Structure 1
Amino acid sequence: MTLLERALSKEHHDVLDRAETFTTETLAPRAEEIEKTREFPRDVVEAAGDAGLLGILIPEEYGGLGGDFVSYCLALERIAEESGAVAEIIQGHTFAMLPILNFGSDEQRERLLPKMVAGESVGAMLLTEPGAGSSPTELQTVAEATDDGYHIYGEKSFGTNAGVADVHLVVARKRPQPEDSHGVSVFIVPSPEDVEGFTFERGEYLGMHGHVTGDATFEDVAVDADALLGQIGGGFRIAMGTIDMARTGLGAIGLGIGRAAFDEAVDYAGDREQGGKAVGEYQAVQVLVAEMDSKLESARNLVYDSAIRIADGEGDTRVSSRAKFTASDAAEFCARNAMQIFGGKGYRTDYPLERYYRDARILSIIGGTSEIQKTTVASEALGL
């Protein structure tokens, strides 16, 4: 038993049990089908809602578990062992719910959160733009104020669950701007099927099949006045308010993918014979296993250090950034070297290792590249 496992509470173990049951009974039988068809697995999302795994961080009054961030990471890690795509879907959905919880009106919370917790409604956050990245000062999407609401114009890219979501949080610049606000705001927009002028083109990506993202276009999309989330000009705070949590959650996904690859490699090395002895008896293979194990456990310590701090209300950007890039690197390292241990079989598509490798690769890019994370850590350490 690890030090982390010894420190887990009854509530943590309850969430782990929920994640184990969901992963074993629902996700495992569907994981390969999701990978092959690339279809958004709405039924699996609904099952995750039934298991309570979508509302871990949401208070009980809205149907959630009222759990802490350690519970969330434990569940996400376990789910990612079976499907990185489903783990990322849940991550994107969760970080659309949290702004509603933290900044929404009573009416917005009561109307939206119970359905999102149950998996009946899917959420997405749309921040990134083709020409601006995720920099709020350069965003070009605008929301023109009208007598009864807003008309939204612009383009967004890379939002997890975009297009298939029922609730899109769109970061845009309100016009006209109040004199005391030069920032961006967040507006709640329904599914493209429910509003005119909202179109979505899905992108096809190397990994995370079943996870939907792509390019969203808003051409005179009309929303009511109550579509505003929080205050005018408060969009940066809303969009970035959970950044430490989001980066740590991505780290937990990396741990799950890395663990799946590691376990496959260890099992194969123990069973596969070459030259009259198990592959795992060769020193070259043992070196790879030792490095994989060490990198994975080092990353786990950093991820849960960040998760515990967040749960205690002491989230730290330096801590979450180093957790994110370390876990991303560990996931890719484990997937790549598991393939090496398998030899030619590891490169075959009827083995899961190539999926782990493709899924792991994106983690060093989304949520801020590993280079950005390292710059953040260095800047904090150097006091820059």
Structure 2
Amino acid sequence: MDLIEAALGDEHREIRDRADEFATDVVRPRADDIEQTDEFPRDVMEAAGEMGLLGLLLPDGYGDLSSDFLGYCLAVERIAAESGAVAESIQGHTFAALPIARFGTDAQHDRYLDRMASGDAVGAMLLTEPDAGSSPSQLSTVAEATDDGYRLSGQKAFGTNAGVADVHLVVARRRPQPDDSHGVSVFLVPSVDETPGFAFERVEYMGMRGHVTGDSTLDDVSVPADALLGEVGQGFRIAMGTIDMARTGLGAIGTGLARGAFDLAVDYASAREQGGSAIGEYQAVQVLVADMYAQLVSARHLVYSSANRIAEGAPDTRASSAAKLTGSEAAEFVTRNAIQIYGGKGYRTDEPLERYFRDAKILSLIGGTSEIQRTTIARETLDL
């Protein structure tokens, strides 16, 4: 029994089993279709809600299954082993629901959380901007107070589930803009179809097909006063309050992609014969398998070490950056070498490995690039 297995309680095993059932019975049969159509898998999100996997981090009473952050990472890793797009859609949704749970009013809880836990409503966080990246202190999207609420104007880039979400958490600065982050606030904006002045243009990527993101424009979008999440000026805390969790979750998704590709490669190396022997008997293939295994297990241990710290109420920025870095790099390394083991067959679009390979790349870019993670790890280590 390895250290991860030994650390799991009955609750964690229940969540892992539920996630395995969902991944096997729901995600696996839909993964290729999601890839081919590139359509947001709302039916899969609804199924995740029905199985309790969208309310894992919400307070008791929202869904029939709740857990700590270690349980969440167990679930998202297993889902990513079947589809990175589904896992990332769930991740984006989860980190839109969690701020509402933490900072929302009772009325906002009643309006959104039951629906988000069930999958009836999808969430998105709109933080990143074309010229400001994800720095809340440099945002140009503004919120101007009106007699009955706020008027939002600006542009947002990326944002998992943007455009298809039923509720968007829009991070904006109050007008006039102060010189620091204290004017940053978060507003709950309904779907594009329900909101005049709110437009969305989807951007296509090389991977994560079915995962929807793109460019959002808010042109004098009016929202009522009760659309404010938390207090005016609390947006920096809301936007950045889950960053360690989000990065660790991305590490879990990377680990899941690596796990899916590794399992396929091992099965293929054991079954595929060349020259009268399984190709797994050749030393060149064995070296690849050994290196893939080492990267996968190393990433998994760092991810779950960080997740356990968060679950215990002691998040560690260095640990979350290390988890995100190693998880995303393991995903790239393992998927690339799994294709190498498959040979030309692995490059075919009717084989899942090329999908895993394309999906893996984005993980080294979102949530802070690998270079940013290395800088963060170094600065935390050197106490700079």
TM band (smaller chain): over 0.9
Preserved CA contact (<8 Å) 1:57 1:64: no
Pairing 1:26-175 to 2, within 5 Å after superposition: 26-63=26-63, 65-175=65-175
- Normalising by structure 2, report the TM-score: 0.98
Equivalent residue letter for 2:235: G
Give the 4+ runs in structure 1 shifted more than 6 A: 178-181
Q: Secondary structure at the match of 1:220?
A: strand
Matched residue, 1:356? 356
Q: Secondary structure at the match of 2:29?
A: coil
* Counterpart check, 1:256 vs 2:256: yes
Matched residue, 1:345? 345
Matched residue, 1:381? 381
Matched residue, 1:318? 318
Q: Distance in 1 between matches of 2:177 and 2:253?
A: 39
Q: Distance in 1 between matches of 2:63 and 2:223?
A: 27
Q: Structure 1 stretches of 5 or more lacking a match?
A: none
Equivalent residue letter for 2:20: E
Equivalent residue letter for 1:369: T
Preserved CA contact (<8 Å) 2:181 2:236: no
Q: Distance in 2 between matches of 1:374 and 1:329?
A: 12
Change (3 A) 1:152 1:283: same
- Normalising by structure 1, report the TM-score: 0.98
Greater alpha carbon shift after TM alignment, 266-275 vs 30-39: 266-275
Preserved CA contact (<8 Å) 1:58 1:64: no
Change (3 A) 1:273 1:222: same
C-alpha displacement of 1:19: 0.7
Change (3 A) 1:210 1:181: closer
* Counterpart check, 1:295 vs 2:295: yes
Preserved CA contact (<8 Å) 1:168 1:189: yes
C-alpha displacement of 1:27: 1.1
Q: Distance in 1 between matches of 2:207 and 2:137?
A: 31
Q: Distance in 1 between matches of 2:158 and 2:317?
A: 23
Deviations 1:239-295 (A, max 9, x none): 000000000000000111001111111111111111221111111110000000001
C-alpha displacement of 1:66: 2.8
Deviations 1:356-382 (A, max 9, x none): 000101000000000000000000111
Matched residue, 2:280? 280
Q: Distance in 2 between matches of 1:201 and 1:335?
A: 30
Q: Distance in 2 between matches of 1:274 and 1:179?
A: 66
Equivalent residue letter for 2:281: E
Equivalent residue letter for 2:361: R
* Counterpart check, 1:367 vs 2:349: no
CA RMSD between the two structures = 1.3
Q: Structure 2 stretches of 5 or more lacking a match?
A: none
C-alpha displacement of 1:182: 3.7
Equivalent residue letter for 2:334: C
Q: Secondary structure at the match of 1:368?
A: coil
Deviations 1:108-129 (A, max 9, x none): 1121101000000000000000
Deviations 1:318-339 (A, max 9, x none): 0000110011101110000000
Deviations 1:105-155 (A, max 9, x none): 111112110100000000000000011111112111001100000111000
Q: Distance in 2 between matches of 1:188 and 1:317?
A: 28
Change (3 A) 1:180 1:158: closer
Q: Distance in 1 between matches of 2:32 and 2:309?
A: 35
Equivalent residue letter for 1:148: D
